[in-house]
């Protein structure tokens, strides 16, 4: 029992370290995007750091004078441009705020673009190596009401692979929800399935109304499709891999990445409108916990969760929230349009306050997750 306990602890530590490594790689790629764009446009860069906190290692380039460092806390990183965050224009003619607004915008956008590019590459590799994860029907619920014969005739069958619903490719559970949202009980929908060794489109008569208020109700869409569930509320279906053709796989890779981004915007919208509680999302601790659980399930899960984090970082950093790249792009656009910048000191204060609020929000949602567990 003691040996088993030690093994479990070591496995848990390994899973957490793997999750931290995924986050660290994604953040480093993000900052490397800023770095490469800055070098290409001749920005003065003071330091490129992996991690936060005290330095563990530093190398200074004799050619450029740039510092490359590894720091104690592996939960971030940064690319420090001359004069970017100190509320001044900087002394060098190549300092961040002395560059043209369009040049700064390119540098700012490069980070999220690198995140997205890596995420897309991981999705492509995953889909070609393992196939696309789709839902396979395990068992169909019996129908006892009026018109039972028609409901049985127009229903899914056991072992059907669900590929599309109402013309919408299905990558995530939320795709099924959005494909059916607003439909009523008794409506007919087209479902593309893999059945009997071939793809075909079948008619399915919906069994329930589809009025979904938030993403937490996504699985209710399977009630409408007639998937049987047990007494614990678990549906009789499973996730299986299905291989599409070459060009379809490439197209689906882009679509899948867009779906992930769309889900992020949907969740943000639900949070802002009150349709989703803060306890339904998580901060850094929750992210590491979930990542450690999913990334160690299989190599496919590892690719998928890494890609999901990459798209998340890309989308989140482009939001117009103070301290994030998206907010800094807004300030550059203001300067570009009006030919006069917002006072550098004011902008620096706004970003500093934004950074504190983001950290506070991250801690809050993690606390709420802990309370609700």
**pLDDT tens, 168-215?**
998 888 888 888 888 898 899 999 999 989 999 999 999 888 887 777
Least confident of 39-43, 188-192, 232-236, 291-295: 291-295
Instruction: Count CA atoms closer than 13 A to 44's CA, side-chain side.
Output: 16
Share of the chain above pLDDT 90, in %: 52
53: helix, strand or coil? strand
Question: What is the rounded CA–CA span in Å between residue 46 and residue 90?
Answer: 12
Domain residues of the chain, as ranges? 26-44+100-129+303-372, 133-242
Q: Give residue-wise pLDDT tens across range 241-263.
A: 999 999 999 999 999 999 889 88
Q: Assign 1 a pLDDT band (cuts: 50, 70, 90).
A: very low
User: Looking at residues 335-347, what average pLDDT do you find?
Assistant: 94
Q: Report the 10 Å Cβ neighbour count for 99.
A: 24
Q: Report the 10 Å Cβ neighbour count for 53.
A: 12
- Could you tell me the sign of the dihedral formed by the alpha carbons of 194, 197, 201, 203, in that order? negative
Given a cut of 80, whether residue 137 has pLDDT beyond it is yes
Question: What is the rounded CA–CA span in Å between residue 269 and residue 7?
Answer: 42
CATH class of 133-242: mainly beta
Question: What is the rounded CA–CA span in Å between residue 203 and residue 192?
Answer: 9
> Which element (helix H / strand E) includes 191?
strand 188-195
Q: Assign 84 a pLDDT band (cuts: 50, 70, 90).
A: confident
Question: What is the rounded CA–CA span in Å between residue 202 and residue 293?
Answer: 36
What is the length of the chain? 373
């Amino acid at each position: 029992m003691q040996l088993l306990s030690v093994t479990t602890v070591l496995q848990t530590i390994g899973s957490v370290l793997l999750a931290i490594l995924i986050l660290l790689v994604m953040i480093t790629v993000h900052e490397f995007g800023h770095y490469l764009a800055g070098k290409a446009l001749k920005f003065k860069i003071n330091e490129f750091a992996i991690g936060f906190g005290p330095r563990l290692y530093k190398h200074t380039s004799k050619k450029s004078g740039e510092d490359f460092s590894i720091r104690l806390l592996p939960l971030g990183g940064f690319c420090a441009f001359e004069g970017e965050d100190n509320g001044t224009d900087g002394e060098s003619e190549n300092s961040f705020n002395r560059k043209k607004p369009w040049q700064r915008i390119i540098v700012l956008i490069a980070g999220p673009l690198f995140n997205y590019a890596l995420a897309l590459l991981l999705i492509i590799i995953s889909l070609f190596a393992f196939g696309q994860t789709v839902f396979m029907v395990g068992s169909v619920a019996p129908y006892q009401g009026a018109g039972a014969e028609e409901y049985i005739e127009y229903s899914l069958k056991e072992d059907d692979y669900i590929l599309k619903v109402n013309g919408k490719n299905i990558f995530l559970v939320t795709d099924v929800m959005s494909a059916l949202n607003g439909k009523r009980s008794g409506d007919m929908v087209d479902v593309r399935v893999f059945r009997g060794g071939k793809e075909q489109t079948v008619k399915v008569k919906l069994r329930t109304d589809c009025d979904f208020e938030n993403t937490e109700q996504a699985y209710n869409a399977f009630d409408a499709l007639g998937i049987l569930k047990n007494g614990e509320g678990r549906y009789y279906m499973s996730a299986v891999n299905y291989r599409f053709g070459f060009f379809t796989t490439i197209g689906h890779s882009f679509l899948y990445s867009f779906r992930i981004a769309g889900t992020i915007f949907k969740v943000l919208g639900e949070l802002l409108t009150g349709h989703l509680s803060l306890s339904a999302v998580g901060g850094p601790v929750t992210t590491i916990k979930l990542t450690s659980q999913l990334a160690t399930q299989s190599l496919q899960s590892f690719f998928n969760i890494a890609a999901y984090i990459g798209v998340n970082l890309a989308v989140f950093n482009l939001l117009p929230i103070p301290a994030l790249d998206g907010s800094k792009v807004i300030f550059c656009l203001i300067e570009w349009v009006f030919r006069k910048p917002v006072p550098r000191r004011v902008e620096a204060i706004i970003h500093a306050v934004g950074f504190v609020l983001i950290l506070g929000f991250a801690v809050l949602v993690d606390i709420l997750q802990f309370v609700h567990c």
